[in-house]
Amino acid sequence: MTASGSEQLLFIVAVTAVAAPLLGRYLAAVFGGGAAPGDRVFLPVERLTYRALRIDPDSSWTWRAYALAVLAFGLVSTLLLYVILRLQGQLPLNPTGAPDMPPLLSFNTAASFVTGTNWQAYEGETAASYLTQMAGLVVAQFTAAAVGLSVALAVVRGIAGSARTIGNFWVDVTRSLVRVFVPLSIAGALVMVGQGAVQTLRGFLTATTLAGGRQVIPGGPVASMEVIKLLGTNGGSFYGAGGAHPFENPTGFTNMFDLLLVIVLPFAIVFMFGRLIGRRWQALAIVAVMAVIFIGHTVVSMQAEVHGNPRMPASVSQLVTATSPGGNSEGKETRFGPEASALMTVGTMGTTAGATDSALDSYTPVGGAGAFVAILLGEIGPGGDGGGLYSILVLALLSVFVAGLMVGRTPEFLGKKIRGPQMKLVVAYVLTIPIVVLVLGSTSLVLPAGTSSILNPGFHGLSEVTYAYASAANNNGSAFAGLSADTTWYNTTLGLAMLIGRFVPIVLALAISGSLAGARVHARTRATLGTAGPTFAVFLFGVIVIVGGLIYFPMLILGPIGERFAG
């Protein structure tokens, strides 16, 4: 890595290390049940909401009721977004004249945004009206993030709490939005606009260029979407080019600001967890595992991209010099350069944002593999808002079980015994997404409907397909974008992959939480396996790598590994 690459990585690590614990403390105050900063402003808004929803904010539910509310909310959100997309051509606020979206593409897009995946098979500039972007997609981005955080809170209450109930979904969603996502988004959006991000309701302008040609200058309420796309670990952009577009991500500063918006909150949620359960070392062990995964895959990709494309002809210089960023610059913006591009793009792959500032399809095999691996490890480096926490907690349960078997003790996590019923749910959780990815991915590779969409030949083309399903099922939403995904086959199967990959794990995580809710908490003895120290962190890391690695290894061999060693 070059000096500027390492400095930017250090900057990200340092800011996160300071900001995440502070934000975690705030979150713990907000969701801990007592008084919290800003009550005077936020409480009246929340009370009004509860009255409108006719709910009792002090009631707490069983996991079944909680899961049903999540599913009901998901269903209504999907239907509403579907209707907006289908009718956008006839609705107001459409200065660019976007037509109604066709049925299957609308299904795919609605599923994509409601699940927080933000896979985009449409072109933002021409295929989505401003009304769709503002009132449809942005609302879904807010709610998807709030639902993720709410589910994490419910899971924590069940796993660690003493009550038999796990909270109230409407209260969790309301408080997440009112106290976390909306205020942070307003502040973040203004920072972005100050740097040059666009925020206007005008449609296309036509400029007469210096050389006498014509150029369309797009507009739109971009910054307001950009910030919740990142903060909510969603990833769906206003424009087709996403975070590479200068109107979304105008400077080297916004590029790193974008990455911070993505990763600080998921880390903060783990710190919040530590405070809520009163075991901060437990949170630190989890944060350490997440940080190792985040830094690991990011550094590998940065290194590969700055080194350049090994097939580049000798007539071209990829060397990094004082006057040239060099590296593998196909699909990358000059103002970011290859390292910061890889840092931002591959860095967000460890979360479910999958926000990119460069074209993944043009990454070197090793650089692209960094993104691939981050997704396949199950989005826990540091994962989505809330999703990262409940995913790694499930893997922690698996780890204590395996460790318990190895040393012949009853596995315990946070003082609660882990038994057969929990382990069945854990295994179902761990297998759901790989089954979706492998079944749909391999089916696509034998059907003409799947293979005809591939752009690049050879191993790389195979990666385009398998990556699409890995990305959809893990609710990441990034793409090896050469794949033509707006087809009947891909719109349908990827839409299903996203819905299954979102809601089945949520229901299973809530079920695990429910089965542990109210279980007896055993006092810690000398025989208890500690789950907060470095030993457990290393063990958890090992389990994550073995589970993810073994399931997907054949897929990686046929994709980036084959590509790297071919020819």
Work out whether 448 is an interface residue with other proteins (CB under 8 A): no
Work out whether 209 is an interface residue with other proteins (CB under 8 A): yes
Q: Give the footprint of other proteins on residues 273-312 (CB under 8 A).
A: 308-312
**Calpha distance 196→177 (Å, rounded):** 26
**Cβ-based nearer residue to other proteins, 52 or 407:** 52
**Cβ-based nearer residue to other proteins, 308 or 450:** 308
Minimal distance in Å, beta carbon 256 to other proteins? Answer: 6
Work out whether 16 is an interface residue with other proteins (CB under 8 A): no
- Beta carbons of 21 and 268 less than 8 angstroms apart: yes
**CA-wise closest residue to 87 among 128, 142, 31:** 128
Work out whether 177 is an interface residue with other proteins (CB under 8 A): yes
Work out whether 92 is an interface residue with other proteins (CB under 8 A): no
* Radius of gyration of the chain, Cα coordinates, nearest whole angstrom: 23
Work out whether 202 is an interface residue with other proteins (CB under 8 A): yes
**Cβ-based nearer residue to other proteins, 55 or 292:** 55
The CA dihedral of 546, 547, 551, 552, to the nearest 10 degrees, is: -70
Q: How many chain residues interact with other proteins (CB under 8 A)?
A: 127
Near other proteins by CB under 8 A, which window of 288-296, 370-378, 475-483, 508-516? 475-483
Q: Give the footprint of other proteins on residues 127-146 (CB under 8 A).
A: 134-136, 138-139, 142-143
Q: Give the footprint of other proteins on residues 404-443 (CB under 8 A).
A: none
Helix (H) or strand (E) holding 206: strand 205-208
**Cβ-based nearer residue to other proteins, 247 or 429:** 247
- Beta carbons of 468 and 427 less than 8 angstroms apart: no
- Beta carbons of 112 and 118 less than 8 angstroms apart: yes
**Cβ-based nearer residue to other proteins, 76 or 163:** 76
Minimal distance in Å, beta carbon 281 to other proteins? Answer: 34
Query: What is the separation of C-alpha 189 from the centre of its chain, rounded to a whole number of angstroms?
Result: 19
Length of the chain: 567
Work out whether 165 is an interface residue with other proteins (CB under 8 A): no
**Cβ-based nearer residue to other proteins, 51 or 522:** 51
On the 0-12 / 13-18 / 19+ scale of CB atoms within 10 A, 57 is middle
- Beta carbons of 315 and 325 less than 8 angstroms apart: no
Minimal distance in Å, beta carbon 250 to other proteins? Answer: 5
**Calpha distance 265→243 (Å, rounded):** 19
Minimal distance in Å, beta carbon 414 to other proteins? Answer: 30
Work out whether 73 is an interface residue with other proteins (CB under 8 A): yes
Q: Give the footprint of other proteins on residues 23-52 (CB under 8 A).
A: 49, 52
Q: Give the footprint of other proteins on residues 245-264 (CB under 8 A).
A: 245-247, 250-253, 255-256
**Cβ-based nearer residue to other proteins, 484 or 528:** 484
**CA-wise closest residue to 552 among 292, 369, 296, 346:** 369
Q: Give the footprint of other proteins on residues 108-127 (CB under 8 A).
A: 123, 125-126
Angle between helices 63-87 and 488-516 (to 10 degrees): 160
Q: Give the footprint of other proteins on residues 477-496 (CB under 8 A).
A: 480-482
- Per DSSP, the residues of 122-183 read S-HHHHS-HHIIIIIIIHHHHHHHHHHHHHHHHHHHHHH-SSS----HHHHHHHHIIIIIHH
Minimal distance in Å, beta carbon 262 to other proteins? Answer: 16
**CA-wise closest residue to 473 among 502, 513, 431:** 502
Which one of 20, 144, 359, 438 is in contact with other proteins (CB under 8 A)?
359
Which one of 107, 170, 273, 469 is in contact with other proteins (CB under 8 A)?
170
Minimal distance in Å, beta carbon 58 to other proteins? Answer: 16
Q: Give the footprint of other proteins on residues 453-472 (CB under 8 A).
A: 455-458, 460-461
In whole angstroms, how far apart are CA 1 and each of 8, 173, 311, 338, 512? 11, 42, 20, 10, 43
Which one of 364, 444, 466, 478 is in contact with other proteins (CB under 8 A)?
364
Minimal distance in Å, beta carbon 404 to other proteins? Answer: 37
Near other proteins by CB under 8 A, which window of 25-33, 178-186, 278-286, 489-497? 178-186
Query: Angle at CA 515, nearest 5°, toward 511 and 516?
Result: 120
**Calpha distance 307→288 (Å, rounded):** 28
Helix (H) or strand (E) holding 14: helix 3-31
Q: Give the footprint of other proteins on residues 328-357 (CB under 8 A).
A: 328-337, 340-341, 356-357
